[in-house]
Homo-oligomer: A and B are copies of this chain.
Amino acid sequence: MYTRTVTKLSKLSTNEIEQFLNSFDTVLTDCDGVLWLDNNVIDKANLVMNKLREQGKRIFYITNNSTKLRDEFLKKTSKLGFDCVKDEVISASYLVADYLKNIGFNKKAYIVGSTGISQELDLVGIKHTGVGPDVQTSIPELLQTTKLDPDVGAVIVGFDEHISFPKLCKAGSYLKDPNCLFIATNTDEQFPSNTDFVVPGTGVAVRAVQTCAGREPFVLGKPYTYICNALIKEYGINPKRTLMIGDRCNTDILLGTRCGFQTMLVLTGVTTLNEVLQWKESENVEENELVPDVYLDKLGDLLQYLN
């Protein structure tokens, strides 16, 4: 049951479902596309999460979104009816601050990102150069007027709607120094969107900086495994008894596979069942890693088994 077989949970026997529910004591869940879409809770997702918590499961809300403070996420979860405390929220911007604090970083950070990152840094006392739009000048003027700050010891790239040539130039220039850290919150290529538009994700800025810097970033968000190490170190979670829930296989489910979690896909977000079935049959190991253990049409379908 816990091998890569793409089982629909509802197809299991009552005994097997009970066995599955008893096989984990920690639940990590993605947010957008699993729990809510924009500002609307996805049918009964809040009731499921609250019930799992009530039954003693340890819950963590894991998001690659780097634009909000943990406190802001907390407000959203509360407003949408999720019982949740701050320690249960693990956002990519929080991970950046937590990581830099843990390694004793004492220089200044140059941010290509938003207040989600700068304010998390403020909370742990890490200096930074600020966020928001940069001044747009001609390139000769940019090179003449810009002073690189010698205190900068890290470039952090997250989601930045003010991405610009001056920012890319500065980020690349700081990264010429091999001692300057290069940290990315995540590499998601697009935001989920039901419109005609492609909404560029953080990965777009990350690849841009990476290209001009000629260096690879250290990525903290899903599907990179730093998050797992942090949860083991700070909260003592046991990967084998952990369930990862997500709507996106190349972040959520891949994280689970890489960390040895059990994995559950819900079909209310990015990944479709057809994609999963193709990856399952693929001879490419990297595609096999995207296949979840079980799936549900929507998280709310779990509720009936929790009562």
Contacts and interface: CB of A to CB of B under 8 A. Distances in A.
Interface of A: 133, 136, 138-139, 143, 146, 148, 160-165, 168-169, 172-173, 175-176, 189-190, 195-201, 203-205, 207-208, 210-214
Given A163-B163, A163-B165, A203 B197 contact: no
Given A136-B162, A139-B161, A163-B165, A200 B176 contact: no
Nearest to A144: B195
A196 B173 contact: yes
A198 B195 CA distance: 36
A274 to B, nearest CB: 17
Contacts of A197: 143, 146, 148, 169, 172-173
Contact of A190 (B133, B164, B212): B212
Given A136-B162, A163-B164, A198 B211 contact: no
Given A161-B139, A165-B161, A204 B198 contact: no
20 contacts: A139-B161, A143-B199, A146-B197, A148-B197, A163-B164, A163-B165, A168-B204, A169-B197, A169-B199, A169-B200, A172-B198, A173-B196, A173-B198, A189-B211, A200-B211, A201-B212, A203-B211, A204-B211, A207-B208, A208-B208
B161 A176 contact: no
Contacts of A146: 197
Contacts of A169: 197-200
Contact of A196 (B165, B176, B199, B201): B176
Contact of A136 (B133, B160, B176, B203): B133
Contacts of A203: 211-212
Contact of A172 (B133, B161, B163, B190): B190
Nearest to A208: B208
A153 to B, nearest CB: 16
A139 B212 contact: no
A207 B203 CA distance: 10
A54 to B, nearest CB: 36
Contacts of A199: 139, 143, 169, 172
Contacts of A168: 163, 200, 204
A36 to B, nearest CB: 16
